[in-house]
Chains A and B, each alone.
Chain A
Amino acid sequence: MRLTAIHIDGFGIFHDLDLVRLSPGLNVFLGDNESGKTTLLAFIRTILFGFPPGQRRENLYPPLKGGRHGGRLTMLGQEGEEYLITRHQGRKRGPVTVTLPNANQGDEEVLRQLTGAATEDLFRSVFAFSLSELQSFESLNSQAVRAAIYSAGAGVGRVSLAKVEKNLQDSIGQIFKPGGRKPVINAILRELQEIDLTIGQRVAEIDRYDELRDELDQMAVEIEGEKSRLDTKRHRLERVRLLQKGWEDWVALCRIQAGITDLPKIEVFPTDGVNRLEKLQERNRLVSDHKAELAQKIEQVEKDLDRLEPRPQWLMAAEQIRLLERRLERFSAASQELIEIRPRLENQRKSLENDLQGLGPEWQADHLDSFDASVSAREEILRYLEGLEEARDGKRESERNFVSATSMLKQAKARAQEAEKGVRQISEPQEKDPRVLLKRRQRLRSLRNLIQTGGDLHRRSEQLKERQEDLQKQKDGLNQQMEGIATTPLWPIIIAALLSAAASLAAGWYRDLFTVATVATVGLLLTVTLLWLSLGQRNRQKAQKDILIQQFFEIEEKLDSLSGKEGMLLAEISANDQEIVRSSRTLGFRTRPSIEEVDQAEAEVEAEQETLHLWQPVQQRYQECREETERRQRELTESEQDMGERQKTLQELERQWSNWLNQAGLAESLTPNSALEVMERIRSLRQQAGSLRELEERLKMLERLVQHYQEEAKSIAQQLEARDILTEDVETVVHGLVSELEKEEDAQRRRDALQQQMAEYKRELEQNGVQLQEVEKELEVLFTEGGASDEAEFRQRANLYEQLMTAKGAFEQHLRNLENLGGRGEDQIRFQEELHRSSPERLQAEGDELYQEVQELEEKLAALQEQFGRLNERREQLESADELSVLRQRRKGLLAELSETAKRWSAITICLRFLQEARQLYEKERKQPVLRESEHFFRTITKGRYHGIVAPHGEENIEVVGANGSRYELGILSRGTAEQLYLSLRFGYIQEFGRRARPLPVVMDDILVNFDPQRARASISAILELAQRNQILFFTCHPETVSMIKEFDGDVPVWQLEGGVMRSG
Chain B
Amino acid sequence: MKSFSFIHTADLHLDSPFAGLRQVDGSVASLIKDATFRAFNNVVDLALLHKVDFVLVAGDVYDGSDRSLRAQLKFADGLKTLAQAGIRSFVCHGNHDPLDGWSASLRWPEGVHIFGPDLESIPLALGGEDVAVVHGISYPESQIDDDFGKGFRRQGSQPFQIGLFHCSLGRDPAHETYAPRTMEELVSADLDYWALGHVHTYRVLKDGRPFIAYPGNTQGLHIREPGPRGCLVVQVDGQGTVKASFEPTDAVRWLSKQLRINDLETEADLIEALERCCDEIRHEAQGRPAIARITIVGRGSLHTVLRRPQVVGDLTERLRETGLESAPPLWIEGIQVRTSTPIDLESRRKSADFLGEVLRLIENSRQNPKGLQEVISELYDDRRGRRFLQIPAEEELIEMLGEVESMCLDELGAEESE
Nearest chain B CB to A423 CB, angstrom units: 121
Asked if residues B357 and A906 are in contact (CB atoms below 8 Å), the reply is: no
Asked if residues B411 and A178 are in contact (CB atoms below 8 Å), the reply is: no
The verdict on A889 contacting B18 (CB below 8 Å), with A880-B70, A897-B23 known, is yes
Contact mask for chain B residues 215-236; partner A; CB cutoff 8 A; 1 contact, 0 none: 0000000000000000000000
Asked if residues B24 and A185 are in contact (CB atoms below 8 Å), the reply is: no
A913 at interface (Cβ–Cβ under 8 A)?
yes
Nearest chain B CB to A743 CB, angstrom units: 97
Instruction: Give CA–CA (A161, B102) in the complex, Å.
Output: 58
Asked if residues B69 and A209 are in contact (CB atoms below 8 Å), the reply is: yes
A1049 at interface (Cβ–Cβ under 8 A)?
no
The verdict on A157 contacting B414 (CB below 8 Å), with A210-B104, A884-B68 known, is yes
Q: Which B220-277 residues have a C-beta within 8 angstroms of A?
A: none
The verdict on A206 contacting B69 (CB below 8 Å), with A156-B354, A189-B388, A885-B33 known, is yes
B15 at interface (Cβ–Cβ under 8 A)?
yes
Q: Which A878-930 residues have a C-beta within 8 angstroms of B?
A: 878-882, 884-886, 888-889, 891-893, 895-900, 902-903, 905-911, 913-915, 917-919, 921-922
Nearest chain B CB to A888 CB, angstrom units: 4
Q: Which A823-843 residues have a C-beta within 8 angstroms of B?
A: none
A158 at interface (Cβ–Cβ under 8 A)?
yes
Q: A-side binding surface: helix, strand, loop or mixed?
A: helix
Residue among A161, A893, A899 having the largest count of chain B Cβ atoms under 10 Å: A893
A159 at interface (Cβ–Cβ under 8 A)?
yes
Q: Which A166-195 residues have a C-beta within 8 angstroms of B?
A: 167-168, 176, 178, 185, 189-190, 192-193
Instruction: Give CA–CA (A378, B248) in the complex, Å.
Output: 116
A164 at interface (Cβ–Cβ under 8 A)?
yes
B49 at interface (Cβ–Cβ under 8 A)?
no
B17 at interface (Cβ–Cβ under 8 A)?
yes
Instruction: Give CA–CA (A922, B375) in the complex, Å.
Output: 21
Q: Give the bracket for the number of chain A residues in contact with chain B.
A: 35 or more
Q: Which segment, of A147-155, A259-267, A481-489, A601-609, faces chain B?
A: A147-155
B355 at interface (Cβ–Cβ under 8 A)?
yes
Nearest chain A CB to B185 CB, angstrom units: 36
Asked if residues A909 and B376 are in contact (CB atoms below 8 Å), the reply is: yes
The verdict on A882 contacting B22 (CB below 8 Å), with A151-B354, A918-B361 known, is no
Asked if residues A907 and B404 are in contact (CB atoms below 8 Å), the reply is: yes
Contact mask for chain B residues 4-15; partner A; CB cutoff 8 A; 1 contact, 0 none: 000000000001
Asked if residues A210 and B362 are in contact (CB atoms below 8 Å), the reply is: no
B413 at interface (Cβ–Cβ under 8 A)?
yes
Residues in B with CB closer than 8 Å to A362 are: none
Asked if residues B392 and A155 are in contact (CB atoms below 8 Å), the reply is: no
Nearest chain B CB to A161 CB, angstrom units: 7
Residues in A with CB closer than 8 Å to B375 are: 906, 909-910, 913
A203 at interface (Cβ–Cβ under 8 A)?
yes
Q: Give the bracket for the number of chain B residues in contact with chain A.
A: 35 or more
Residues in A with CB closer than 8 Å to B69 are: 206, 209, 878-879, 881
Choose one: B66, B372, B388; the contact of A910 (CB below 8 Å): B372
Instruction: Give CA–CA (A982, B293) in the complex, Å.
Output: 58
Which residue of chain B lies nearest to A898 when distances are taken between CB atoms in the complex?
Answer: B388
B307 at interface (Cβ–Cβ under 8 A)?
no
Asked if residues B408 and A911 are in contact (CB atoms below 8 Å), the reply is: yes
A213 at interface (Cβ–Cβ under 8 A)?
yes
Choose one: A190, A891, A896, A915; the contact of B358 (CB below 8 Å): A915
Asked if residues B358 and A914 are in contact (CB atoms below 8 Å), the reply is: yes
Residues in A with CB closer than 8 Å to B105 are: 210, 213
Nearest chain B CB to A124 CB, angstrom units: 22
Asked if residues B355 and A155 are in contact (CB atoms below 8 Å), the reply is: yes
Asked if residues B384 and A193 are in contact (CB atoms below 8 Å), the reply is: yes
Q: Which B85-111 residues have a C-beta within 8 angstroms of A?
A: 102, 104-105
B73 at interface (Cβ–Cβ under 8 A)?
yes
A859 at interface (Cβ–Cβ under 8 A)?
no
Nearest chain B CB to A148 CB, angstrom units: 12
Residues in A with CB closer than 8 Å to B67 are: 203, 206-207, 884
Asked if residues A910 and B404 are in contact (CB atoms below 8 Å), the reply is: yes
Instruction: Give CA–CA (A651, B331) in the complex, Å.
Output: 133
Asked if residues B404 and A164 are in contact (CB atoms below 8 Å), the reply is: no
Contact mask for chain A residues 986-1022; partner B; CB cutoff 8 A; 1 contact, 0 none: 0000000000000000000000000000000000000
Asked if residues B361 and A914 are in contact (CB atoms below 8 Å), the reply is: yes
B20 at interface (Cβ–Cβ under 8 A)?
yes
The verdict on A899 contacting B389 (CB below 8 Å), with A185-B379, A892-B21, A906-B400 known, is yes
Asked if residues A882 and B33 are in contact (CB atoms below 8 Å), the reply is: yes
Instruction: Give CA–CA (A906, B67) in the complex, Å.
Output: 35
Choose one: A159, A178, A884, A921; the contact of B70 (CB below 8 Å): A884
The verdict on A164 contacting B22 (CB below 8 Å), with A154-B353, A207-B67 known, is no
Instruction: Give CA–CA (A888, B407) in the complex, Å.
Output: 34
Residues in B with CB closer than 8 Å to A154 are: 353-355
Asked if residues B66 and A156 are in contact (CB atoms below 8 Å), the reply is: no
Instruction: Give CA–CA (A176, B104) in the complex, Å.
Output: 42
The verdict on A908 contacting B33 (CB below 8 Å), with A156-B412, A189-B388, A903-B392 known, is no
Asked if residues B400 and A155 are in contact (CB atoms below 8 Å), the reply is: no
Nearest chain B CB to A179 CB, angstrom units: 9
Nearest chain A CB to B310 CB, angstrom units: 13
Residues in A with CB closer than 8 Å to B385 are: 176, 185, 189, 902
Residues in B with CB closer than 8 Å to A907 are: 400, 403-404, 407
Residues in A with CB closer than 8 Å to B408 are: 911, 914-915
Residues in B with CB closer than 8 Å to A892 are: 17-21
Choose one: A176, A885, A913; the contact of B17 (CB below 8 Å): A885
Asked if residues B413 and A159 are in contact (CB atoms below 8 Å), the reply is: yes
B280 at interface (Cβ–Cβ under 8 A)?
no
Asked if residues A889 and B32 are in contact (CB atoms below 8 Å), the reply is: yes
Which residue of chain A lies nearest to B399 when distances are taken between CB atoms in the complex?
Answer: A903
Instruction: Give CA–CA (A207, B64) in the complex, Å.
Output: 12
Asked if residues A905 and B18 are in contact (CB atoms below 8 Å), the reply is: no
Residues in B with CB closer than 8 Å to A921 are: 357
Residues in A with CB closer than 8 Å to B400 are: 903, 906-907, 910
Instruction: Give CA–CA (A124, B358) in the complex, Å.
Output: 28
Nearest chain A CB to B224 CB, angstrom units: 12
Residue among A176, A884, A885, A896 having the largest count of chain B Cβ atoms under 10 Å: A885
Residues in B with CB closer than 8 Å to A192 are: 387-388
B382 at interface (Cβ–Cβ under 8 A)?
yes
Which residue of chain B lies nearest to A171 when distances are taken between CB atoms in the complex?
Answer: B309
The verdict on A918 contacting B358 (CB below 8 Å), with A156-B412, A192-B388, A879-B69 known, is yes
Nearest chain A CB to B169 CB, angstrom units: 28
B415 at interface (Cβ–Cβ under 8 A)?
yes
B351 at interface (Cβ–Cβ under 8 A)?
yes
Instruction: Give CA–CA (A918, B380) in the complex, Å.
Output: 25
Residues in B with CB closer than 8 Å to A203 are: 67
Nearest chain B CB to A138 CB, angstrom units: 24
B356 at interface (Cβ–Cβ under 8 A)?
yes
Instruction: Give CA–CA (A334, B131) in the complex, Å.
Output: 123
Asked if residues A159 and B411 are in contact (CB atoms below 8 Å), the reply is: yes
Nearest chain A CB to B15 CB, angstrom units: 5
Nearest chain A CB to B275 CB, angstrom units: 25
Choose one: A159, A878, A884, A896; the contact of B22 (CB below 8 Å): A896
Contact mask for chain A residues 531-575; partner B; CB cutoff 8 A; 1 contact, 0 none: 000000000000000000000000000000000000000000000
Instruction: Give CA–CA (A155, B349) in the complex, Å.
Output: 11
Instruction: Give CA–CA (A906, B356) in the complex, Å.
Output: 22
B305 at interface (Cβ–Cβ under 8 A)?
no
Nearest chain A CB to B295 CB, angstrom units: 14
The verdict on A896 contacting B351 (CB below 8 Å), with A905-B379, A907-B404 known, is no
Asked if residues A902 and B355 are in contact (CB atoms below 8 Å), the reply is: no
Name 12 A/B residue pairs within 8 A (Cβ), A-sorted: A157-B414, A189-B388, A206-B69, A209-B104, A885-B33, A889-B32, A889-B33, A895-B388, A898-B389, A900-B22, A902-B379, A910-B401
Q: Told that A157-B412, A176-B385, A889-B18 touch, could you supply 5 new A-B pairs with CB distance under 8 A? A: A155-B414, A886-B29, A889-B17, A902-B389, A907-B404
10 A-B pairs with least C-beta separation: A154-B354, A155-B353, A155-B355, A157-B413, A897-B22, A889-B17, A918-B357, A918-B358, A888-B17, A892-B17
